[in-house]
Structure 1
């Protein structure tokens, strides 16, 4: 069959459809093409050398749709390759059944590369990646004969393809899953229209017309996964109408369906993730269900997709840890390193003293409470990832048998000098690319370019942040607690060394925490601080940057120990006029918007102070601002949405034992039929904090009506508590 002419375009999406790998290409001529990519996914089987041949013969007699060969591969922990059986499935659709049959028949064997998502495995093995600029040849049957990428994930100046975006936003979430949305706002190219949900037939017909006319590449929603698309699916079922949410493709059009909701615990916090409603031929990104989008915007999300080789819709709903793990697997596969099916590297038994000595965490210098003038802040750039790269820290390089003479200070561990570890090889391009993005951002000629580069570097920052946590995570593919301990030990040494260098140059340490230092010296200049940062970077081998110079910086006392400051609670005004705040109410996600705004207004007023004396003189004016806010609260001038408290559920509603406000509202929602699970965020209004009836103390915002009233005295107390630390005259 004759091949079609070569086309050029961006790899928009990769998915498994009808047992085949389906690629969506946005061509540079404006076409949206669906093409089938031939792919024979492979996995590997290991066994003792004398039994490999017999095992291969046994599998061959099973007459499975696959081919068998022997090849040499090694695991991360092995220094030399060994013989394994390579099993190549006839097509992606047979991969799972082939593996299942073999694993059941050969329980004594080891299996590798078997639990990797097939679209990702396709990208790893072909070198392609989301939004790669490609040249493609395909036959009339829409099967690809040749595809190659013209750019690289490492390229910092990649261009965003022309993507048509349609935004769908609910004016208000329905209080019951059975109810239709009251109003749906649809925005295309900056023009918005509002659709009424009163008539389901009319609503579906209008959405159908808009989708066909605009043909968007991206549906950008708020609560699309948990509210909007599930309700549209119900409407389709009720009305018998269809919606062109999927684009047609050679494998047929699938029905609209979503994944399962799930609750999970990460870093001690319970999270909730709504089931993913993904589309074929279009992206659906739910802004309320995407950490990457929330933290780094669309360009940051796409930057992560390019670097991690995870398709965009999947990445939008994945943790950043999934992204860094994908990069590690990609590197391992391309270097012939086997990925075990079930990780079996248990932590060695250690006594309590060893654990106490080895796992001390980051170094913290506790500040004294007070307001300080002439302060500079220095921050190590991606300190832990930089340490992992510089000192060659990776699971296989810690306590290697070849380098017992290279100890890590503060631990009982050693590091390898002879071979570079997998983790440093993965982190090096991330560190280099982020540094390049920051340089491009700082010299960008337009605000749009600055925003673009900032989103991209921010996305890479999160991949670097989690790379350290996953190094010690028990379920991580390439985790090892000893490696984690080496990083924190070297981090303590580097921070201590930086402190000593600063003191040599006449600076006084006010505060230090893990990767940041706050230093004071009379009449310091920005140039002097930058020279200090360069000196520390040179002598420690880890880059450190000047965050800024403060006119004043205030550390607040602990409530239980007034003579000691809380190391993570402070506020300060930079000489540039920018305000930096950590740990105060305005930084907390559960603070009502009204209280957040008042505290921010107080900080803006106090930031005008050039020194301690001016700060004290501004306190009366700040107190008047607080009193005016309290008056507005008493006189019911504050809109109800500005009093909403937002809390994340740490457990399912029925598992709460105490009648906290969060528990009361969670159980109210459940009783009213509103889906409520651990990890979800709920919103409520305080209605009677001291009411003897627990059910009257707070009410879910979705069910609040004019018949209810809020407890303004309780909100006034919260406001005073938030503002009190700022209004206390500094000594």
Structure 2
């Protein structure tokens, strides 16, 4: 089966298959992509023959036919118009013309199978599994940030080997590596490397340079760069390019390759029919949608271009009851000894599968009088929902992979390559399972439905409350609980002989709720952190010492935040060690004092103080002189393009200033930093460690000042 598919400008198709004897290409020139047009409502009396005559006269239409398809999971086979077009690029321009025709009432027509990505569409329509049959070879090309905005490179790395010199030197080295390795995948630090190298070759008159395996086409641009906003967060999507015969992975624009590895990517390729290149840059929701589309396709169901599922009518009381999130049991701020963490395995996906929660069966007409969803009165049909068929194989596969990981870990000499493969596949599947619940409430989801989202939450609340009640009745005290996890400690008011064993209790709860409750970890102690401006516990900020292990579990505190400098993270972790050894705030503060002294003595390496922050708006969009603004100004001075949604890295050199001199960019190799600024960051990090014991930054500052005063008096 082909691992990558090229759709050339003339409409011809190149299928590239990796075999044990090398890469084989097959060319086709008869591919005609298809979309569908039909009535939005099953009660519509639209004359499709009239619509067919209109499309038949269009020069980009190859053929039309009236066929029977299911326009939705809740609809039987109906007549729709199938339209075959000359080129995949023409689908999204021809489809909307149906809805703009004056002969038909606005809103009466719907289009299906329109907005599919190129390679995915080809695989779906031709029943192709793009999972490579042989191991794929890779070659990595990268450039430093200082080279990303010029017209030509003076430095470039090929598989970690840095090449500098003239344009001819760099092009020769890249071409030699490509010819020698003949990679199936080009892993690029930025996809802009592809056009830049070819433009360099053109300007230098190097006529034989090409990254392509196809002699007639060097590369194609598939999409321009863009900025987007998702859930209030700004992101940047770089331009996308295609090199015939090779899959491109852009490290600046990939989620699954960055979060897992190539094995994780390939596992999802087999499940989604999205070839490597499209899978690498796709979002979690995009891949989940592709898997759902494959299931719909197998059932003969068309995919709507735009989601138009209205929310079912519900009375005000039901709206109130349904508009709630998952289970939350606010943490008890403080340090708790002998704590156990219990987690429900893939709770939301398993709720979907064990309770049959799916858009096609929720609130069905055939069981409308049933009350299947606790507290909401929603019915769920007895017929198996399509979402169950989508998720159950993924749940089962991840369980098998996790079992294989445990077996590998128990071996005397684990196979590290095998272990990395299993970890990558497990991680990729985890992200799909994490997203499946939230996507049901996403307004633009192809097959989502808000009632599914509400039902899943309702079942989750009931399950966690059931677990909480049974744990407390069996001699355990719940100190925190959120969504799918519960933290418990032995109830001091219950005799040890009357307290039920946690493993036995977990099995009993598993049998009762039909979803596996796992003993995730045992901690010598866990500390729950209060909110910054409140004494209430922060739901997702805690840390604890894993029993019998030399490690901590950290959530939400500075050492887990991507913007935290390495030095601050190191000091916070050392303070955790001191707290574990002594339970003494004074011991922690003693270590903090030494770190502050090291800062002010100038003994901290500048590269350990780098901050990394996301740029949320263009430079002119900021109204305050923040650190990001200072860094963006410096980047602008150096003609470095930093887009919204991208990261910028810098060291704070003088926080008292408001100009661009406030920071230095990471590549500038500055030798100075602002010790007072980083002292503040250290105090903030140590506050997170000591706040469960009742200390805030005011207490920390006062203690530090008193210690310094005592030292000065003692010196005199």
* Shorter-chain TM-score range: 0.7 to 0.9
Please say if residues 264 and 426 of structure 2, whose CA atoms lie closer than 8 Å, have aligned partners that are also in contact. yes
**SS of equivalent to 1:310:** coil
Alignment of 1:250-261 (within 5 A): 252-255=216-219, 257=221, 259-261=223-225
Unpaired runs of at least 5, structure 2: 695-716
**SS of equivalent to 2:235:** strand
Greater displacement, 68-77 / 100-109: 100-109
Alignment of 1:524-603 (within 5 A): 528-562=501-535, 564-577=536-549, 578-603=551-576
* 2:23 equivalent in structure 1: 31
User: Cα 1:442–1:264, aligned 2, differ >3 Å: closer, same or farther?
Assistant: same
Greater displacement, 575-584 / 697-706: 697-706
C-alpha distance in 2, partners of 1:715/1:181?
36
Q: 1:186 aligns with which of 151, 158, 163?
A: 158
**What do residues 274-297 of structure 1 show as CA deviations (whole Å, max 9, x unaligned)?**
222332212222333211112111
Using the TM superposition, give the Cα deviation of residue 559 of structure 1 relative to its aligned residue in structure 2, in angstroms: 2.8
2:457 counterpart of 1:492: no
User: Cα 1:730–1:705, aligned 2, differ >3 Å: closer, same or farther?
Assistant: closer
Please say if residues 14 and 25 of structure 2, whose CA atoms lie closer than 8 Å, have aligned partners that are also in contact. no
C-alpha distance in 1, partners of 2:47/2:148?
61
C-alpha distance in 1, partners of 2:670/2:689?
35
Please say if residues 630 and 663 of structure 2, whose CA atoms lie closer than 8 Å, have aligned partners that are also in contact. yes
Please say if residues 20 and 93 of structure 1, whose CA atoms lie closer than 8 Å, have aligned partners that are also in contact. no
User: Cα 1:422–1:272, aligned 2, differ >3 Å: closer, same or farther?
Assistant: same
* 1:113 equivalent in structure 2: 113
Using the TM superposition, give the Cα deviation of residue 465 of structure 1 relative to its aligned residue in structure 2, in angstroms: 1.0
Greater displacement, 553-562 / 664-673: 664-673
Alignment of 1:248-327 (within 5 A): 248=214, 252-255=216-219, 257=221, 259-327=223-291
Please say if residues 571 and 581 of structure 1, whose CA atoms lie closer than 8 Å, have aligned partners that are also in contact. yes
C-alpha distance in 2, partners of 1:436/1:387?
19
* 2:212 equivalent in structure 1: 246
C-alpha distance in 2, partners of 1:247/1:462?
34
C-alpha distance in 2, partners of 1:370/1:524?
27
C-alpha distance in 2, partners of 1:449/1:491?
35
C-alpha distance in 2, partners of 1:470/1:367?
28
**SS of equivalent to 1:31:** strand
User: Cα 1:229–1:15, aligned 2, differ >3 Å: closer, same or farther?
Assistant: closer
Using the TM superposition, give the Cα deviation of residue 569 of structure 1 relative to its aligned residue in structure 2, in angstroms: 0.7
C-alpha distance in 1, partners of 2:222/2:69?
38
User: Cα 1:62–1:669, aligned 2, differ >3 Å: closer, same or farther?
Assistant: closer
C-alpha distance in 2, partners of 1:231/1:554?
52
* 2:430 equivalent in structure 1: 461
Please say if residues 19 and 93 of structure 1, whose CA atoms lie closer than 8 Å, have aligned partners that are also in contact. no
Please say if residues 32 and 86 of structure 2, whose CA atoms lie closer than 8 Å, have aligned partners that are also in contact. yes
Q: What's the TM-score, normalizing by structure 2?
A: 0.87
* 1:419 equivalent in structure 2: 383
* 2:175 equivalent in structure 1: 208
Please say if residues 21 and 92 of structure 1, whose CA atoms lie closer than 8 Å, have aligned partners that are also in contact. no
C-alpha distance in 2, partners of 1:235/1:723?
51
Using the TM superposition, give the Cα deviation of residue 686 of structure 1 relative to its aligned residue in structure 2, in angstroms: 1.3
Q: 2:676 aligns with which of 697, 710, 713?
A: 713
Using the TM superposition, give the Cα deviation of residue 319 of structure 1 relative to its aligned residue in structure 2, in angstroms: 0.6
Please say if residues 147 and 153 of structure 2, whose CA atoms lie closer than 8 Å, have aligned partners that are also in contact. no
Greater displacement, 482-491 / 441-450: 441-450
Greater displacement, 390-399 / 432-441: 390-399
C-alpha distance in 2, partners of 1:292/1:468?
19
* 1:680 equivalent in structure 2: 646
Q: What's the TM-score, normalizing by structure 1?
A: 0.85
Using the TM superposition, give the Cα deviation of residue 699 of structure 1 relative to its aligned residue in structure 2, in angstroms: 3.7
Using the TM superposition, give the Cα deviation of residue 99 of structure 1 relative to its aligned residue in structure 2, in angstroms: 4.6
Please say if residues 296 and 455 of structure 1, whose CA atoms lie closer than 8 Å, have aligned partners that are also in contact. yes
**SS of equivalent to 2:649:** strand
User: Cα 1:289–1:628, aligned 2, differ >3 Å: closer, same or farther?
Assistant: farther
C-alpha distance in 1, partners of 2:26/2:75?
43
Unpaired runs of at least 5, structure 1: 1-9, 134-160
C-alpha distance in 2, partners of 1:62/1:38?
19
Greater displacement, 671-680 / 457-466: 671-680
**SS of equivalent to 2:367:** coil
C-alpha distance in 2, partners of 1:112/1:536?
45
2:345 counterpart of 1:372: no
* 1:504 equivalent in structure 2: 473
User: Cα 1:537–1:59, aligned 2, differ >3 Å: closer, same or farther?
Assistant: same
**What do residues 291-313 of structure 1 show as CA deviations (whole Å, max 9, x unaligned)?**
11121112111212221111211
**What do residues 417-473 of structure 1 show as CA deviations (whole Å, max 9, x unaligned)?**
232222222111111111111112111353332221121011001011111111111
* 1:84 equivalent in structure 2: 80
Using the TM superposition, give the Cα deviation of residue 94 of structure 1 relative to its aligned residue in structure 2, in angstroms: 6.5
User: Cα 1:76–1:230, aligned 2, differ >3 Å: closer, same or farther?
Assistant: same
**SS of equivalent to 2:191:** helix
**What do residues 125-152 of structure 1 show as CA deviations (whole Å, max 9, x unaligned)?**
333222254xxxxxxxxxxxxxxxxxxx
**What do residues 57-102 of structure 1 show as CA deviations (whole Å, max 9, x unaligned)?**
5544668643333322222253322222233446757756765776
User: Cα 1:356–1:696, aligned 2, differ >3 Å: closer, same or farther?
Assistant: farther
2:399 counterpart of 1:435: yes
C-alpha distance in 1, partners of 2:81/2:61?
15
Please say if residues 584 and 722 of structure 1, whose CA atoms lie closer than 8 Å, have aligned partners that are also in contact. yes
Please say if residues 219 and 243 of structure 2, whose CA atoms lie closer than 8 Å, have aligned partners that are also in contact. no
Number of matched pairs:
674
Using the TM superposition, give the Cα deviation of residue 685 of structure 1 relative to its aligned residue in structure 2, in angstroms: 1.7
C-alpha distance in 1, partners of 2:687/2:636?
37
**SS of equivalent to 1:337:** coil
Q: 2:421 aligns with which of 448, 452, 477?
A: 452
**SS of equivalent to 2:234:** strand
* 2:14 equivalent in structure 1: 22
C-alpha distance in 1, partners of 2:684/2:497?
35
Using the TM superposition, give the Cα deviation of residue 382 of structure 1 relative to its aligned residue in structure 2, in angstroms: 1.6
User: Cα 1:219–1:301, aligned 2, differ >3 Å: closer, same or farther?
Assistant: same
Please say if residues 223 and 241 of structure 2, whose CA atoms lie closer than 8 Å, have aligned partners that are also in contact. yes
Using the TM superposition, give the Cα deviation of residue 266 of structure 1 relative to its aligned residue in structure 2, in angstroms: 2.3
C-alpha distance in 2, partners of 1:22/1:202?
32
**SS of equivalent to 1:647:** strand
Using the TM superposition, give the Cα deviation of residue 407 of structure 1 relative to its aligned residue in structure 2, in angstroms: 2.6
Q: 1:647 aligns with which of 613, 616, 622?
A: 613
**What do residues 12-51 of structure 1 show as CA deviations (whole Å, max 9, x unaligned)?**
2123223133211011223343443854433222244462
User: Cα 1:438–1:705, aligned 2, differ >3 Å: closer, same or farther?
Assistant: closer
Please say if residues 154 and 170 of structure 2, whose CA atoms lie closer than 8 Å, have aligned partners that are also in contact. no
CA RMSD of aligned residues (A): 3.0
C-alpha distance in 1, partners of 2:384/2:170?
59
C-alpha distance in 1, partners of 2:57/2:252?
51
C-alpha distance in 1, partners of 2:188/2:489?
47
